[in-house]
Amino acid sequence: MLQLESQSHRTRMPQSTKTAILVIGGAEDKVHGREILHTFFNRAGAGEARIAIIPCASREPAVIGDRYRQIFEGMGAKVTKVLDIREREQSEHPEIQEYIQDCTGVFMTGGDQLRLCGLLADTPLMEKVRLRVHSGEITLAGTSAGAAVMGHHMIAGGGSGEPPNRSLVDMATGLGIIPEVIVDQHFHNRNRMSRLMSAIAAHPDRIGIGIDEDTCALFEKDGLLQVMGKGTVTIIDPEQMSYSNQPQVGANEPISIHNLRVHILSYGDRYHLHQRTILPPET
């Protein structure tokens, strides 16, 4: 059971802290420099951070939740709680609701994105998280499955190593934190370029974001994305796509996609999600 402090003892996030959404491709460094995790910790308030860890995508939520709890406590977070939600009804528990309203950062771990959405989608808990993120009150991070759920359309599974085709990707509804994107994780590490292209061919009103392992796409509130970590972030932009046979071909037949824009971003590169423009690293 969550042990919560009284209202009079709570400390809100410092006004100088700049919140963000961290979308992490999975397998982030948890041992050495831990740059991505440190960035989440700092954006969530550093020494004043009150962090909620949501491990319900994992098959071993208590184990994975405790691992992240130890990491953030070791960094110096003021309070770190694991919200071990295994039934949808738990999200309505008053103590969990109270802590989500008071926390400064939420971290969603990896595992199975369908399980994560099944437990959290359309719950009072997730609605509160979404509202607080969009109001700039908290920093949100999701790694692996926790990254896949960020868009309205979510890649739930699929294959790799084939030309783009409809059967290569299984789609579902995500949590809609950043509704205009479709996220794929462990991206180049698992050869998922065709999978993401197949998803974008089916949803050309979205932007594909493919994130490698130990790599993060950090979204600022103004729509600016910046890359950190060891790998790359792939942007698939169909805004100028002139033709696709996706609606006409069979499920296993190759998809044609003409005039698709693809950007490969590495450390420090920036991309403006709303303007669809590339910006060089800040000097």
At 220, is the secondary structure helix, strand, or coil? Answer: coil
Q: Which token pair is 120?
A: 């959290």
What is d(CA 172, CA 169) in angstroms, rounded to the nearest whole number? 10
Residue 186 bears catalytic tag:
yes
Residue 60 bears catalytic tag:
no
Catalytic one of 58, 91, 144, 244: 144
Burial class (CB in 10 A: 0-12, 13-18, 19+), 256: middle
Asked if 144 and 25 count as a contact pair (C-beta separation under 8 A), the reply is: yes
Asked if 79 and 50 count as a contact pair (C-beta separation under 8 A), the reply is: yes
The Cβ of residue 47 has, within 10 Å, a number of other Cβ atoms equal to 12
Catalytic one of 162, 180, 220, 253: 162
Catalytic one of 28, 58, 153, 186: 186
Question: What is the four-CA torsion angle of 209, 215, 219, 225, rounded to 10 degrees?
Answer: -70
With CA atoms as reference, report the closest residue to 216 among 75, 17, 38, 45: 38
DSSP H or E segment with residue 207: strand 207-211
Residues with catalytic annotation? 144, 162, 186
